[in-house]
Amino acid sequence: MKKIYSISYDLNKSGKDYDGLIAAIKSYGTWCTPTKSYWLVATTGSANDIYNKLKPHLDDDDTIFIQRIMGDRAGWMSKKVWEWVNKHVPSTVTV
């Protein structure tokens, strides 16, 4: 079963081509980008697996945070993003 992870990053070198990072994120196939540097991806892997896949596309002064998401949520986003979230992100947490 696929889990949903959030990926948030700050890329700190201006002028660098980060197309490789974006392509690596999109390679998960099931993804959504609610904001410019915040992504949601579906995968059977772990947060550490995602990190290891994306790390080669980052510089030492960049930052990245990856976390599994589920449950309660709120926000103001496009209808398209909310449709993706409602389809893929569990709205309840079972312990």
- Any domain includes 34: yes
Question: For residue 72, what are the contacts with CB-CB under 8 A and spacing of at least 6?
Answer: 91
Helices assigned H by DSSP within 1-95: 19-26, 47-54, 79-88
The predicted structure's pLDDT at residue 89? 85
Number of compact structural domains in the chain: 1
The predicted structure's pLDDT at residue 92? 66
- Any domain includes 44: yes
- Any domain includes 93: no
Report pTM. Answer: 0.85
CATH of the domain at 7: 3.30.70.240
**Residue numbers of the domain that contains 65:** 3-88
d(CA 52, CA 32): 20
- Any domain includes 74: yes
- Any domain includes 94: no
Block means of pLDDT (10 residues each) for the chain, length 95 residues?
A: 92 80 95 92 97 94 93 87 88 60
The predicted structure's pLDDT at residue 95? 47
